[in-house]
Chain A
């Protein structure tokens, strides 16, 4: 018990700042007219995603993200909603990962992936201002000017620059994830946050294909000093396209891992009623890490999985 007490005392100032950042985040969205919603943690279906393994719970699942339920609210006519919830992803444990983590997800009808990124920049700049930090954040030896808006680069450009090939013209799934993680992220400029956008259509996930360039999906991610913070989409609202992507991924997951995933039928029934919408998910623990200059997620969570 001595070690636990010592640890919890050491990170107390981080946990106090965490509570403050959660309060400020809620205030930011409420002031902009977003409704805070609360969708279930234990769910009968999840979005089938190749590289996200849900935690099972007696035949159901623990939500890996609140996305499908929030979109059912949007389909019913809700226009601006946000939610901060605990999400679960099996086996994800490392310096930046805990299998149970806190995520904020928000959606705005009429918005798109790049506008959601600009709003993320506004959020981070707002928190920095309220915490009396100003525009320049010190994180792990980097001085980062977080003032909004953030610079944006296409995936095609950064991959050509740092990995030497073009994933939009010729996609190679295995190399793509490795090169993003090992060649691009460590080498992008650390004095400003960076938004990467227009992912190859093969890495679209739940984003719509860009109507003016069908080789890319309207998906964006932002990074601050090497930390992946948020992932945004112009949401896919075509039910037939969504169904065919889900069925394809369910089949690949069955083939490669032997896992059976149910088709999220209630979500598929609703998605056709959505209007064009921007959506984004941001890791709250990582946001707190940035403002606490914490090298590991363990420094901003009271009980990480190994110590739970």
Chain B
């Protein structure tokens, strides 16, 4: 692919090593050549690297296939998933998973980004509906601005919610931003 088409989170192969583009900065003197400063993360080691490309340069995009998988369980530092068609099992390290592990529930389906048999990343559903396990009573403050309070969800994730939310409510949440969307309560 042409360097112009590279964006943040494009996955590329460079000198035999797969990288994620963590950041792509376009710089150009008005009359001069464009420069692309990429921050690359080595997908095997998580080490980062700064590289410079110019307009017209070609990079090798990694061909990625998406496979739906079921989450099974946590095992030490890893999370174990299973392809429900072939029953093959794959693991993801906690460093790749990051704090997204707070959304994992047994049996949920995620989309796994694969390069051949190697797992590059997973995509969680953007929205999930989860039950509130614990939340306090909103403290009445002196201001008129809308108050929020923390609530613990069934997966262990903690998010800020409006004061009317009670334990046992089911909430729609945005997993990308860890924010409350609405109360659904249709069990």
Residues of A within 8 A of B (CB): 49, 51-52, 91-97, 174, 176-178, 180-182, 203, 205, 221, 228, 231, 256-257, 281, 283
| Chain B hits for A95, CB < 8 A | 25-26
Closest beta carbon of chain B to A230's beta carbon, Å:
9
Contacts of B33 in A (CB 8 A): 51, 174, 177-178
Contact assessment for A91 and B55 in the assembled complex, using a CB-CB cutoff below 8 Å: yes
Q: With both chains docked as a complex, state the minimum distance between the C-beta of A284 and any C-beta of chain B, in angstroms.
A: 13
Q: Mark B21-48, 1 if CB is under 8 A from A, else 0.
A: 0000111111111110000000000000
Rounded to whole Å, the gap between the CB of A217 and the closest CB of chain B is 11
Asked if A177 contacts B26 (CB within 8 A), the reply is: no
- Inter-chain CA distance A228–B4, complex, in Å, is 22
B142 → chain A, closest Cβ, in Å? 26
Nearest CB in chain B: distance from A279 CB, A? 13
Q: Are the C-beta atoms of B29 and A177 separated by less than 8 Å?
A: yes
B26 near A181 with CB under 8 A, answer no
Q: Please tell me if B145 contacts chain A, counting CB pairs below 8 Å.
A: no
Question: Could you tell me if A181 and B32 are in contact, using CB atoms closer than 8 angstroms?
Answer: yes
Q: Are B25 and A97 in contact (CB under 8 A)?
A: no
Chain A nearest CB from B9 CB (Å) reads 15
Cβ-defined contact, A181 with B55, below 8 A? no
Rounded to whole angstroms, the CA-CA distance of A257 and B52 in the bound complex is 20
Which residue of A has the minimal Cβ distance to B37?
A: A182
Structural contact, B26 and A93, CB atoms closer than 8 A:
yes
7 A-B contact pairs sorted by A residue (CB < 8 Å): A49-B31, A51-B31, A51-B34, A92-B34, A178-B33, A182-B52, A231-B30
By a beta-carbon cutoff of 8 Å, the part of chain B in contact with chain A is 4, 25-35, 52, 55-56
B25: chain A residues at CB < 8 Å are 94-95
Inter-chain contacts of A91 with B (CB < 8 A) = 4, 34, 55
Question: Are B32 and A177 in contact, with the CB atoms below 8 A?
Answer: yes
Give me 18 other A-B pairs in contact (C-beta within 8 A), A174-B33, A178-B35, A180-B29 excluded: A51-B33, A92-B26, A92-B28, A94-B25, A95-B25, A97-B26, A97-B28, A177-B32, A177-B33, A178-B52, A180-B32, A181-B35, A182-B27, A203-B31, A203-B32, A228-B29, A256-B56, A257-B56
By a CB distance below 8 angstroms, the chain A residues around B31 are: 49, 51-52, 203, 205, 231
Contact B30 A221 (CB under 8 A): yes
Q: From A229, which residue of chain B is reached at the shortest CB distance? A: B30
- Find out whether the CB atom of A182 lies under 8 angstroms from the CB atom of B35: yes
Question: Are the C-beta atoms of B30 and A228 separated by less than 8 Å?
Answer: yes
Q: What residues of chain A lie closer than 8 Å to B29, measured between beta carbons?
A: 177, 180-181, 221, 228
Residues of B within 8 A of A203 (CB): 31-32
Q: Which residues of B contact A177 (CB under 8 A)?
A: 29, 32-33, 35
Residues of A within 8 A of B30 (CB): 221, 228, 231, 281, 283
Residues in A neighbouring B52, C-beta threshold 8 A:
178, 182
Residue on A nearest B2 in the bound complex, by CB: A91
Chain B residues near A178: list those with CB within 8 A. 33, 35, 52
Q: For A205, list chain B residues within 8 Å (CB).
A: 31
B residues in contact with A281, CB < 8 Å: 30
Lowest 10 CB-CB distances: which A-B pairs, in order? Answer: A94-B26, A177-B32, A177-B33, A51-B33, A181-B27, A205-B31, A231-B30, A91-B4, A181-B35, A51-B32
A residues near B35, Cβ cutoff 8 Å:
177-178, 181-182
Closest partner residue, chain A, to B27 (CB atom)? A181
Q: With the chains together, A180 CA to B25 CA distance in Å?
A: 16
- Complex: A49 Cα to B28 Cα, angstroms: 14
Q: Which residues from chain B contact A257 at a C-beta distance below 8 Å?
A: 56
Distance (whole angstroms) from the CB of B8 to the closest CB of chain A? 12
- Cα A91 to Cα B4 with chains together (Å): 7
- Name the B residues within 8 Å of A256 (CB-CB): 56
Q: Which of B25, B27, B30 has the most CB of A within 10 A?
A: B30
Cα of A264 to Cα of B26 in the assembled complex, Å: 30
Shortest CB–CB separation between residue A302 and chain B, in angstroms? 21
**What is the minimal beta-carbon distance from A298 to any residue of chain B, in angstroms?**
13
Q: Which of A180, A181, A221, A281 has the most CB of B within 10 A?
A: A181
Bound Cα distance A51, B26 (Å): 14
A26 to B25, CA, bound (A): 33
